[in-house]
Amino acid sequence: MILLKLFFAFIQVGLFSVGGGYAAIPLIQEQIVDIYGMMTLEEFSDLITVAEMTPGPISINSATFVGMRVAGIPGVIICSVGCIIPSFCICLILAHFYYKYRSVKGVQVVLSAMRPAVVALIASAGASILMLALFQSEIQNLVVENFRIVEFVIFAVALFLLRKFKMNAITIILGSGVVGTIVYTVINLIG
């Protein structure tokens, strides 16, 4: 039964994650955390962090990690196939029609109208993960006393380095991991 739930959850993710892998994150969260309760939000946030650091598309990486966490190797296969099949079929159909009708003004209008919705999906996922990192809770359950200053400083410095100096994302991720590990090791030794 769990494999069937996973398959249907990732079929929906594959069908509706317009805009790429980052747009899939809120859909995966809704299916796996909110609807089926297969993971906590904190587990899901950790999973997204690992999926982001792993080479390959984040939606497939996330599907693979969710499948492994929830149902082992059969879960990996079911989630990955469920995530890939809709995209594969839709891409084949759309590629055919896009190349046939790409010069039609209506097609360009529809694509332009969809872009803000995709940005909203990505921003929503980013805001959820940021709130979890900084407050250890979702936006609805925000408690200011839970503010995590170390994570905020790492976030602010990483954002600054990415935007101002266009640093490599891998360097930022590895550097953040090293700095966080050192800071929390020192805090644990002192306290």
Question: DSSP letters along 119-185, please?
Answer: HHHHHHHHHHHHHHHHHSS-GGG--GGG--HHHHHHHHHHHHHHHHS---HHHHHHHHHHHHHHHHH
Which pLDDT belongs to residue 55?
Answer: 87
Which pLDDT belongs to residue 54?
Answer: 86
Residue 103 and residue 105: Cα distance in Å, rounded? Answer: 6
Which pLDDT belongs to residue 127?
Answer: 86
Which pLDDT belongs to residue 178?
Answer: 96
Contact 16, 82 (CB under 8 A): no
Contact 62, 97 (CB under 8 A): no
Burial of 27 (0-12, 13-18, 19+ CB in 10 A): buried
Burial of 24 (0-12, 13-18, 19+ CB in 10 A): buried
- How long, in residues, is the chain? 191
Instruction: Give the C-alpha distances (Å, rounded to integers) separating 18 from 56, 91, 141, 190.
Output: 18, 11, 28, 48
- Residues in the chain where the model's pLDDT stays below 50: none
Instruction: Give the C-alpha distances (Å, rounded to integers) separating 175 from 154, 155, 160, 167, 182.
Output: 9, 11, 14, 11, 11
Which pLDDT belongs to residue 53?
Answer: 83
Which pLDDT belongs to residue 103?
Answer: 86
Instruction: Give the C-alpha distances (Å, rounded to integers) separating 137 from 69, 88, 191.
Output: 21, 35, 24
Dig out the tokens for 10 from the structure: 């990732």
Which pLDDT belongs to residue 90?
Answer: 83
| Maximum Cα interatomic distance, the chain, rounded to a whole number of Å | 66
